[in-house]
Amino acid sequence: MLSIARHCAKIIAPHTSNLLIKPTFLKTNVLRTYTESILCRKQTSTRLLNLKNAVRGTGTIAVRLTSDVSPKAKKTVGYWLLGCSGMVFVAVVLGGVTRLTDSGLSMVTWRLMGERMPISHADWETEFQTYQQFPEFKIKNPDMTLSQFKWIWYMEFGHRMWGRAIGAFFLLPAAFFWARGMLKPGMKPRVLAFGTLIGLQGLLGWYMVKSGLEDRFHGASDVPRVSQYRLAAHLSAAFVLYTLFLWSALDHLIPAQTLSNVSASVVKSARKFRMLAHTCKGMVFFTAVSGAFVAGLNAGLVYNSFPKMADKWIPDDLLAFSPKLRNITENPTTVQFDHRILGTTTLCLITGLWLLSRRRHLPPRAYTATTAVGVMAWIQVLLGITTLLTYVPIPLAASHQSGSLVLLSTAVWLTHELKRLPK
């Protein structure tokens, strides 16, 4: 057995120069070899290697080498991820304003590397004539002037170019960090997932816009607009991407705290609290998705009273469509009603979460995060009610949509602070 250990040390030595390994043997039936100390005499810029040896059942020794990332590199990657999440946040806000100003259908083509901005008056006339061939102009904006068209075109152009800026801000540093070995092994699959989601988000955005350019608006009351299903999918994907960026940034910048020297009952209570926190986070997400259906159907304009809907708790046209299931996603009255119920339920859950946190032993920062979630939940509900009562003015409606992402951010922070509870 001793010869096996010496033989393995000779094999490992060329790959771990200047490393001193002291094996220790236990007097058992199975040989257990492990590294007691690692000394590195290379210059400080050289990457450290950790040796983790494990004895297989056959008596042979398995060796796994993993790379360390310096604290400075970890912080740099963390700030980059935080910047990516911030850019996605801005993209969501821009998308909301684009939707509220009915600017999303002004650009009727899509190119991967970006559309050329019209420069001359002739270019603008050509762009405007192209827009005039589609349903939004024919049905909704037949009296639109060129100057009005320019304004909505710039809104959509800014949203699209910001999305491409996100791709560049992500891709270039990601390639650099990967090449320099600044990414932890667990981050590499995440980086690949982030890049895939960014690409899919761009394609999903065009797929959504395309639904508003189709010749499918033939009813007397039909209004050209994008599909509420595709709008909800586009917003959901943005929220998922933002959440993943933010979670990874928190991993790098403020690692979660834990509990120490506590009883099993305290840990059990904290873990139950964490389950409730995840439930609240899920409810925030689903309420935001229901808000996308409200925006897609302009459902915020059908009943502008609160808490009742036209002096009734349950409106008469709640199930007006047939089959009944269509009402959930296609009836503006039902969509608004569902959004109210989800918002109220989420607020009650979060309020209960905050009250419960006062009676639980949690990691220190978790108390601050819980308070942030509770305060933001009340602000968000008040914003929603005010937006409804004032007939959805653009500044308030945009603030309400942004508030949903801020609320989700605080919920993500809270659940992140609870991720390292003892088992």
Residue 11 has pLDDT above 70, yes or no: no
pLDDT at 261: 87
User: Other C-beta atoms within 10 Å of 141: how many?
Assistant: 19
Query: Average per-residue pLDDT in the chain?
Result: 87
pTM of the model: 0.83
Contact 407, 383 (CB under 8 A): no
Contact 387, 300 (CB under 8 A): yes
More confident residue, 237 or 1: 237
In sign, the C-alpha dihedral spanning 283, 285, 286, 290 is positive
Q: Among 1-5, 99-103, 348-352, 354-358, name the one with the lowest average pLDDT.
A: 1-5
Residue 66 has pLDDT above 50, yes or no: no
SS3 94: helix
pLDDT at 67: 52
Q: Among 44-53, 108-117, 386-395, name the one with the lowest average pLDDT.
A: 44-53
pLDDT digits (tens, 9 = 90+) for 219-239: 877 889 999 999 999 999 999
Residue 413 CA to residue 22 CA, distance in Å, equals 43
110, containing H or E segment: none
In whole angstroms, how large is the CA radius of gyration of the chain?
28
pLDDT digits (tens, 9 = 90+) for 249-264: 999 999 999 998 899 9
Residue 320 CA to residue 318 CA, distance in Å, equals 6
Task: Give whole-number Cα distances, 404 to 4, 152, 161, 287, 334, in Å.
Answer: 61, 25, 24, 9, 20
Q: How far is CA 280 from the centre of its chain?
A: 16
Confidence band for 165, pLDDT divided at 50, 70 and 90: very high
